[in-house]
Structure formats: C-alpha cells, structure tokens
Chains A and B, each alone.
Chain A
Amino acid sequence: MFGYVVPYKPELKVREYEYYKAVYCGICLQTRKIGNLPRVFLNYDFVFLYLVLKEHFKVKDELGKTRCIAHPLKERFFLKPNEILEYVSNQMVFLSFFKLYDNILDEKNVFSYIPYSILKLYINKITKSHREPFEKIKELFKKQMSLEKNGYKSIDELAHNFGNILAEIFAYNDQELLKQIGYYTGVWVYIIDAIDDYIDDVKKKRYNCLKYHFEKCRQDKRLFEYELSILKVSLENYLAILSDYIKGYNNSILDNIVQVGMYSKTQQVLERFTTNFFKELKE
C-alpha cells in the first residue's frame, strides 16, 4: 500500500486525530523491536489495517506517553503493544520487503539491494515459527510480476491479483470478512496507483496496466473522458462495496477513511491525471 488509504482530516474530531496518530506511533515503536530499518517504510495505510483488525476482534487498547527519536521535544501518545499491533507491524515489514524486491527486478536498482538484503534477515526472524502466510504472499507477488512482465491488458486481472495479496495480509486468523475488506482495498489501491503513476510510467517506458486503454486517447479528448468516466465509476463501486463492509464496524475513523478519505483521494488523483494528461504527454 502506498499512502492512499488515509482519513479526510478536516472531518476528523480532535480526539480521533490524536488516536489515529497514537496508532501510527504505536506501529512505529512496535517495529523498532524488529529493527530500525523497517521503520523507514512506515506509512499511514497500516493504521487502517490496525483499526479494521481492532474492530473486528473487539480489542481494547491502551495509550501511553513517550518521547522518541522523531519527536524528541514533546511527549506523544502511543499505542501500547498488543497482539494485533505486532501482526500489523510484521505485515508492514513483509510488504516493504516485497516492494524492494519489485524495485530490484523492475529497475535493477542497486540502491534497493542493500536494504533488501537486510530486510531479508528480519523476515527470517519474523517467520521463524510459521512461514506459510509469507510464502503465500510471495507466490502472489511473483504472479503479479509475471503478469506485468507479459504486458497483460486487463486492468482487473492485475488488480484482482493485487487484491488477493492484500486479502492475505488482512486475513488475520483467516477471517473471510477481513479477506473481502483486504481484497477491495487492494483493488482500489492498485488502480489508483496505476492512474497516479501513468504519466511517469509512459515517460520512462515502464509497464502500466492502463496503457492499453489510454494510449489511444492521446489525440482524442472525448475518448479520454469516456475512459476516465469508466474508471471513475468502477473505482467508486469498489469503494461503495468496501464502505458497506466497514459500516458494520461502526467506527467513526474507519467510516471517515472509507467514505471521505478514499473518496477525496480518488478525486485528487483523477483531477491531477486529467490536467496533466494532455499537457505532459505531447509527442
């Protein structure tokens, strides 16, 4: 996940905002127990994962106050460690590992190689007792890469596979509802990320799953708008399904994230894409 699953700040209550930040700090501090390097990859998406799991298993969590390296001056709230927090931080390490793995194979990026090999050590540490979920995600990631390499034209095929990856990550204790939530989050994240990166990818001649649909729109503004409206409707449909699942938890932060936060991200990304598409992609 890449920082798309965030709340819409103007509509958060102050206490919700404080709690949200506390979870973020909690994940960071929890990850420190594994090692300092993975903390670099921390992002807000995993707060969403924590909140979903917390609501699902009705966990009572506690806050504490501490200073840390990033905020040495003022004491901040953080979430005291619990089982779910540990799970979330482990998943974060997994996902950042795969992202680096992807970078190495994709761009032959030497700089990713060093953190990659260090992360590999951490992963061995985490998965010492049970390696099975990790292997499952790895398999799906490999499939994702082979799909991208073969230049698949279908947006859904790729988004579906990515959705399955997130379904595995969300599925703590193999719960079906969590899998569904993970799946739809993943599909949405994949497509929104593809839209966001589209112009960059075309310039750098990288693979992008939207290429097939948007390449022919370069000269035709009406066709572009047509394709864009299809994307918009499908993205919002994914979100509508997701928000139906989330509503059941009755958690105001989660509602904010899914109903407004992700919506405003969608609008932002689509708007940026529309304004830059014809400006930047002149031949």
Chain B
Amino acid sequence: MRDPYEVLGVRKGASKEEIKKAYLDLVKKYHPDKFKDNPLRELAEEKLKEINEAYNILMNDQYSNYEYSTYEQTSLYQQVRDLIMQGNIAQAESLLNQNPRNDAEWFYLMGIIYQKRGWINQAYRFFLEAYNRDPGNYEYRRAKEQFEMASRNYEWSAYNRGYRRHDDCDICTICQIIACWECCCDNDIGC
C-alpha cells in the first residue's frame, strides 16, 4: 500500500478540509464516466480504488502513524492461502494486488495464483523472485525447481526419442568433411 498522503497528493499532516478538496478533485479527474470506451478505463478504475482507500484511511480519526503491523501482514497471507485453497483465485489475487509488498511470501503466493491459472511464464518469474529473496526456504525452492524439473524431463524425452543437436548433417557437409580430410591426407598431415 502506498502512502495515503502521496496518493492524494497532499503534504503530511494536511487538514481534513485540504484532504477532502484534493480527494474530490481526483475523483472528478478519474471518474469512470469520463473513460467510457477508453482503453485506459481499467487503469482509471484501479486508480480510483486506490484514491478511495487512501481517503478512507486519512479521514479515519484513529489514523496516526499509518503502517501495517507484522500481525496484519501474516494474517493477510493466511487469508490469501485460504482463498487459494477454496479455489477463489480471482479474489486472492485482488487481495494481494491491493497490498503490494516486497517480501518473498508475497511473490510466492502470487506465483501460485498464476500457476493455478496456467500462466507458467509469469508464475515462474514470481517463484524466482521469491527464491532470490529467501533462498533458504524449502517451499519457494521447490516451487521454482518443479518447473525446471518438468523442463528437464521434457528435454530428456526428446533426446531419448532421437533428437540430435546438429541434424543438418546432409550430403553437402559430408562432402565437405571428406574433401577436407583428403587435403590433409595429401599433405601428409593427417591419417
């Protein structure tokens, strides 16, 4: 989650009036009605969601030093895992996207979501990120290696079925080789 002050474009510690004014201006700017039939519409909707969230946080009186506690963080991941278990991939993804983090677990869960969807390239990228952030974790390593393993097995079966790397060994190349060989023989170097 980005800093709510930054989202609304006001200085830290701004008064409620200022925040409200900035909020209303932004809503006007990104209102979906303005983006009808526009490819940017989805982007605008996302932006608007973010703005609404930031506004709600700032207008809440309890807001003092806005930061997620570790407790909230782990409960978020638990929630996502539960959603994945239930097969509710779309909701799990939107939950993660609403709370972007930079830790290994976030990337790992994202990878699982993409894997479930069958988007292997993206899933593999996420697993690699998770693994790079925490190479000691068994779960992350296994997730990454399972793709590498599948790819190696596939390669192996191709080799077993007779695939050879340089299969362009046609008559021409054979002739060339023989010709070269002959030269060598004549010069008493080879053979």
Contacts and interface: CB of A to CB of B under 8 A. Distances in A.
Interface of A: 8, 10-11, 146, 149-150, 154-157, 159-160, 183, 191, 230-234, 236-240, 243, 255-256, 259-260, 263-264, 267
Contacts of B167: 8, 10, 264
19 contacts: A10-B167, A11-B162, A146-B39, A150-B39, A154-B122, A156-B120, A156-B121, A156-B122, A157-B119, A230-B125, A234-B124, A236-B151, A236-B155, A237-B124, A237-B150, A237-B151, A255-B161, A260-B163, A263-B158
A264 B121 contact: no
A159 to B, nearest CB: 7
A156 B119 contact: yes
Nearest to B115: A237
B45 to A, nearest CB: 15
A149 B18 CA distance: 39
Main SS of the interface on chain B?
A: helix
Give the interface centre of A230, A231, A236 by most chain B CB atoms within 10 Å: A236
A263 B155 contact: yes
Contacts of B155: 236, 263
A256 B119 CA distance: 25
Main SS of the interface on chain A?
A: helix
B11 interface: no
Contacts of A238: 120
A227 B3 CA distance: 32
Contacts of B165: 267
A255 B162 CA distance: 12
B161 A155 contact: no
Contacts of B164: 10
B137 interface: no
B23 interface: no
Contacts of B158: 259-260, 263-264
Interface string B143-160: 000011011011101100
A259 B154 CA distance: 7
B163 to A, nearest CB: 5
Contacts of A232: 151
A150 B114 CA distance: 22
A240 B114 contact: no
A8 B124 contact: no
Contact of B124 (A11, A183, A233, A243): A233
Given A8-B163, A230-B125, 17 more contacts: A8-B162, A8-B167, A10-B162, A11-B162, A156-B121, A156-B122, A157-B119, A160-B118, A231-B121, A233-B148, A234-B147, A237-B150, A238-B120, A240-B150, A255-B161, A259-B154, A263-B163
Interface string B118-134: 11111011001000000
Interface in B84-132: 114, 118-122, 124-125, 128
A191 B162 contact: no
Contacts of B163: 8, 11, 260, 263-264
A234 B121 contact: yes
B116 to A, nearest CB: 13
Give the interface centre of B119, B155, B157, B158 by most chain A CB atoms within 10 Å: B158
A236 B150 contact: yes
Contacts of A255: 161
Contacts of A230: 121, 124-125, 128
A183 B118 CA distance: 10
A159 B150 CA distance: 20
B119 A160 contact: yes
Nearest to B42: A150
B121 to A, nearest CB: 4
Given A10-B167, A156-B121, A233-B124, A259 B157 contact: yes
Nearest to A150: B39
A159 B162 CA distance: 30
Contacts of A259: 154, 157-158, 161
Nearest to A149: B39
B122 A233 contact: no
Contacts of B161: 11, 255-256, 259-260
Contacts of A155: 121-122
A156 B114 contact: yes
